[in-house]
A and B are shown apart, each in its own frame.
Chain A
Amino acid sequence: MITAERKPLSEIKEMIAPYRKVLVVGCGSCVAECAAGGEKEVGLLASALRMDARTEGRDLEIKEMTLDRQCVYEFIDQLTEFIDQYDVVLSLGCGAGVQAVAEVFPRAIIVPALNTTFVGETKEAGLWVENCRGCGDCKLGFFAAVCPITGCAKGLFNGPCGGSQDGKCEVDPDTPCAWQLIITRLEESGRMNLLDKVYPPADWSKQQGRGPRKIVREDQKI
């Protein structure tokens, strides 16, 4: 899941200040799960912006919409009949959603209401934790499904570093030591032999350095 947090209202207001008609568009997928950009959050932000405008005596017209997914053309297409009627689109999608909408409607003005943060999981109600860096070279199979790149502050493939205390990371005592988790799980599942191997550094060229990454699947094309 891609997580995000709402920008401060002052920043959002500054971006939409030149415009009178605002289309506020949420996304019902990842950012709804992390309570940043779903239907409820669209309603909250629209309500706050309307009240703020009335408090300041400004004329502001807002329409609220939430797409099932803001990063897929078939869903973005639902904006087609409305987009020309509004001066600006305030997107509560992740960065991918904002850019996808802008690509479909290149002449429209699209601005983000969220700061996209990380790929993570919902640990419990109200708590989301990063657990994947999207490195493009997943090694979870060797490390008992604990990512040492994301979970270990030092990103060690051949840990532990020796600095952890009581199973917690020396960099942040609130964070469990990823290598403690790896070793405990490997022990419990009888796979400690996986640590006999020395793992080479990650191939970072799969993550960065070549511009935007692409996935091409001929079998998925129409």
Chain B
Amino acid sequence: MDQKSAGLKITIFFCQRIDADQDAHRRPLEKELGSQIRFFPLPCSGRIEPLHLLRALESGADKVYVVTCAEGACRYREGNIRAKKRLAYAQGLIEEIGLAKDHLELIHVLAGTTTTIAQLAEELLAREAFVGPLPVDAPGQERQQRQL
């Protein structure tokens, strides 16, 4: 079953340089899926901090993606390399509390491809749902039972 049908809550942090018109492109998907998807544009993926990733999971996301430009293509030289290291650190933290590290995933956009953030998000939502819902309810929120 794909991630969209499985009802997984997806959070996408992304470098806004991969889509110059990201604001307009993501709106229809946000309207369609409501709270199932949340986008967080970053000036550079190197801005991401492990704390952002943990807070996203704590707030109810089942799967958090960090989308960066291709390695070697960062406008600020090393932003996507830093993002990779920070995501790995956050994966270590969630593994310490017994969660699968796959709840956090780094996606490199391939060099030379032109894609919108909406197309990319659709591709991610169409992926097989290898991780289930996070067994962590956000505060004051009853999670609906979802079968995978």
Contacts and interface: CB of A to CB of B under 8 A. Distances in A.
B50 A9 contact: no
A36 B70 CA distance: 31
Contact of B96 (A40, A48, A50): A48
B122 interface: no
Interface string A1-44: 00000001110000000000000000000000000000010011
Given A8-B96, A9-B96, A43-B55, A51 B136 contact: yes
Interface of B: 49-51, 54-55, 57-58, 93-94, 96-99, 135-137
B96 A51 contact: no
A54 interface: yes
26 contacts: A8-B96, A9-B93, A9-B96, A40-B49, A43-B54, A44-B50, A44-B51, A44-B93, A47-B51, A47-B55, A48-B54, A48-B93, A48-B96, A48-B97, A50-B58, A51-B57, A51-B58, A51-B97, A51-B99, A51-B136, A52-B98, A54-B136, A54-B137, A55-B97, A55-B99, A55-B136
Contacts of A8: 96
B51 A55 contact: no
Given A51-B136, A54-B136, A40 B51 contact: yes
A55 B98 contact: yes
A10 B95 CA distance: 12
Dominant SS among interface residues on chain B:
helix
CB-based closest 9 A-B pairs = A52-B97, A47-B54, A9-B96, A54-B136, A51-B136, A43-B51, A47-B58, A55-B135, A44-B51
Nearest to A41: B51
| Most chain B CB inside 10 Å of its own CB: which residue of A10, A40, A54 | A54
Nearest to A44: B51
Nearest to B98: A55
A219 B58 CA distance: 50
Given A8-B96, A9-B97, A44-B93, A51 B54 contact: yes
A54 B140 CA distance: 11
B133 to A, nearest CB: 12
A203 B54 CA distance: 49
A111 to B, nearest CB: 18
